Structures are given as C-alpha cells and as structure tokens.
Structure 1
C-alpha cells in the first residue's frame, strides 16, 4: 500500500511538471500565432510543444526517450485508427447535406482542384476522386511531422502518466478537457463566430476523440494509431469535406470542428469505444 501511494505521488509530480512545461511553452507559441505574421509558421511550433514538454519532463525525471511507446504496433490498429475519423466525418457531412444544412459539391472548390490537377472542368467526379485520394495519402503523410509533435506529448506520454492514477474513463475525459483547453486561445482568436458555442462544440468533440484515441493507444501500446487518427481527422475535415460543402445560412451552426454535427456523431462513436474498453478490461 505504501509503495502504491509512493508511485501515485510520483506520477502526479510527473504530470504536474509536464503541464507546467507544456503551458509555459505553449504560451509563447500562442502569442506568436496571434501577434506575428505569418501565423502558419508558428502553428507548427505550437504543435510540437506537447512533445518538447514530454521530452523535458522525461529529462527532469531521469527517464529516457526509449520509455515512450515508439513501436509501430499492428497494421490493423493503424488502419482502423485512420478509418474511424473517415467514418464519423463522412456520416456527419452526409447528414449535413441530406438535411439541407449545406450543399454538395462546391463548384468553386471543384474548379480550384481541377486547375491544380490540370483536369478539365467538365470532369468533376474524376477531379474529386483524384484529389480526395491525394489529400488522404500524400497530404496526410506530409502532415505527420507536425501531428506527431502533438501526439508524442498527449498520447505518447500524458495519458500513460494519467493511467497510473486514474481509470480509463477518467483518463479520456481529463486528457480531453486539457487538450481542448490547450486549443482555446486559437479558437477565440480565429474562430470568427460565437465563441461560447464554438468552444462547447469543440470541447465535446475533443473529449469524444480522446476516448477513441486512448482506446487505440492502450490497446496497441503504440503512439502511431493516434498519429494516424489525428492526421485523418484534420485532413478530411479541413481539406476535403468542408471545402466540398456549399454553405447556406444554417451551415455555420453544423459544419466543421466548431459546429454541432461532428461532435454529435463522434460522441455516439465514443460511447461504443468506452464500452469496448470496459469490456476488454482497460
């Protein structure tokens, strides 16, 4: 019992050091994003703050980088983690289009994609198919470097420390809340809408994603499924489905990471993974 209490105190010290380092580093990056130009340069720096905070914490605690879950894991876990965001994003946008909260396809996006690909404007189906394939593969691979910075910190380090002092459900919620709050300065600065509504939708979505990502991370004992999950989530929303959507007066309420539809769909999916984790004894 005494040894267990000592281990828990040690874990809480590690968690505290990580969070202090993370928010100190992130404050600098957030300030640069808001006040300096071009902001896109500093987004990459912000995304690597969780990894740098994790590395610093390991150094302070006398642990090595080899203790992180670097191994590749199974192909099935990596593919499944990639496919899950594609599933919930596809369902969410299909509902948006079917319910009339937005149209499809956006002719401006099709024309832009056709020009980039050197295709005829008369072949929209081919344009969409090729661009979705390229964005879902080549662009996703290009984004892995910055995504890895976040996931090394969050799923490669943070949730493993939380797991020493909390059950699976609490790990998912606590890590999700902190991960969401870490994004708040950017949403407030650049969201462009009702900040309270956007923060609520985003937070619900992030917590639900955290449940699913924690499941894949603990099951595979690898950070790679979370990296593929996160990359697919970003690409399919930001580069594919949102650009393909024709907006109307209702679209802003439902679309994207700050609208309501994706949080609803991914929350339902998170409940499935929560029960699955419980049944598997996580």
Structure 2
C-alpha cells in the first residue's frame, strides 16, 4: 500500500481529508456572509514588506518548542542523531499540502481576525486552541492518523500554547497564513533529532512549552501578541 511505502499507516492517508474541515467551513461561511472567498484565501500569499526572517521563525519556533531537550542533551555532550531525513521530509510535505496545515486558513486565517475584533489576541488564541483540541478528540480517541488514544488530554494543554505562538506569527506577518501553515507542518514533522539519553528532558520541554508563549505575552502584551496592531480588516470583507 502507498501508506506503507511512504512510511505512513494507511489510516493517516485515508483520514487526511478530515483536516480539510476548517478550510471548507471557512470558505462556506465566508461566502455565505457575502465576503470574497478569493480575498480570504489570498492570505496564503505573503504580504509585501513582511521580512524573510519570518520564514525562519516558522521553522525555528516549532523546533524550540519540541526539541529543546535534544539541544540541551547535545550541549551536555550526549550523542544526538538525525531521525530518518526522507521520512521527516515526506511527513512535512504531507502535512503541508494534504493534511493538518490546511486547517490553518480556518483556525488562524478565519477565526483569529474575527475573534480579535471583539477580544484580545490572547483570548482569541486560547479559544482557538481549545476548539482545535476539541476538533482532534474524535481522531485521537479513535487512534487514527498515528495518534494514541491517551494523547487527547495533552492536546488541551499543548494546542492552546501552540496557538499563542501561532497567533504571534499570524499577527506579526499581517495575516500571513502561509507562515502558520509552515509552522503547523513543522510541528507535525517533529522530532527531527533524538538523543542517545535524556538530560532533564521532561523539565526542559515543559519550560520551553510554557516559556516561549509566556515570553511572547510579556513582551508584546495580550492585546495584539505582536509589535503592531493587527490589520482589523476581516479577510475578504467587502470595502465599505
């Protein structure tokens, strides 16, 4: 089967269309509200003036959140090895073009700007994180797409934290959906490295998972989670 050949269980390929739900819902609601779907989906194209360093952030931030224990192990002289590079690349491309990253036009591209018109960017991000976790519960409990049934509790902790960082990326790039799609695909492709033995692994990862979102919150503030006020215009909204 193609899933076995490329290193995935068959269920992961068969369940990929489930990830298109937020994308489809965003398109339907955008159209029903009389907004231009083309204007909403155009967020995937980076806006002029957005620094190229945000591409680096989209890849580096997930690495810091997930692989801090391996970095610390390497600093202490522990052998760290690269995990099956072809599988990592396939995983990244699969998620980016066919699976989870396609949720982002719905989560960040649709919900984030709408919620933060009424509430702070932090409140919007946490709300999206909880909804994002709820969205995954049936899949995780069912053991589909490579998840274990016991992982659903962690989703309610990790996804709101990830959501804060992704809101920072989205608002800082003036609604750059491509950047959060790259972020999402990178998260799903992790881990890239593994250490021969752990060095304060659980503690260091907890510090990273809490410390990065907390640092963003303390530095930028809860209102925008970005250096500048996000574009208040709803993507696709007709000009008044």
Taking structure 2 as the reference length, the TM-score comes to 0.71
Aligned alpha-carbon RMSD (Å) = 3.2
- What is the deviation of 1:245? 6.1
Q: Against the structure 1 CA distance between its residues 95 and 199, is the aligned structure 2 distance closer, same or farther, given a 3 Å change threshold?
A: farther
Which protein has greater RCO, CA pairs closer than 8 Å, 6+ apart? 2
**Structure with higher helix content:** 1
Aligned residue for 2:124, secondary structure, equals helix
- What is the deviation of 1:227? 0.7
Determine if the alignment matches structure 1 residue 50 to structure 2 residue 22: yes
* Pairs within 5 Å for 1:73-222: 73=47, 74=50, 75-94=52-71, 128=82, 131-132=84-85, 134=86, 139-145=91-97, 146-190=99-143, 192=148, 195=150, 198-221=151-174, 222=176
Query: 2 CA distance for matches of 1:41 and 1:229?
Result: 21
* Pairs within 5 Å for 1:240-251: 240-241=192-193, 244=194
Larger Rg over CA atoms = 1
Q: Against the structure 1 CA distance between its residues 277 and 235, is the aligned structure 2 distance closer, same or farther, given a 3 Å change threshold?
A: same
Query: 1 CA distance for matches of 2:18 and 2:79?
Result: 33
Query: 1 CA distance for matches of 2:178 and 2:209?
Result: 20
Query: 2 CA distance for matches of 1:47 and 1:104?
Result: 36
Unaligned ranges ≥5, structure 2: 1-8, 230-240
Count residues with an aligned counterpart.
204
Taking structure 1 as the reference length, the TM-score comes to 0.62
Query: 2 CA distance for matches of 1:184 and 1:223?
Result: 24
Query: 1 CA distance for matches of 2:196 and 2:148?
Result: 18
- What is the deviation of 1:158? 1.2
Unaligned ranges ≥5, structure 1: 1-36, 106-124, 255-259
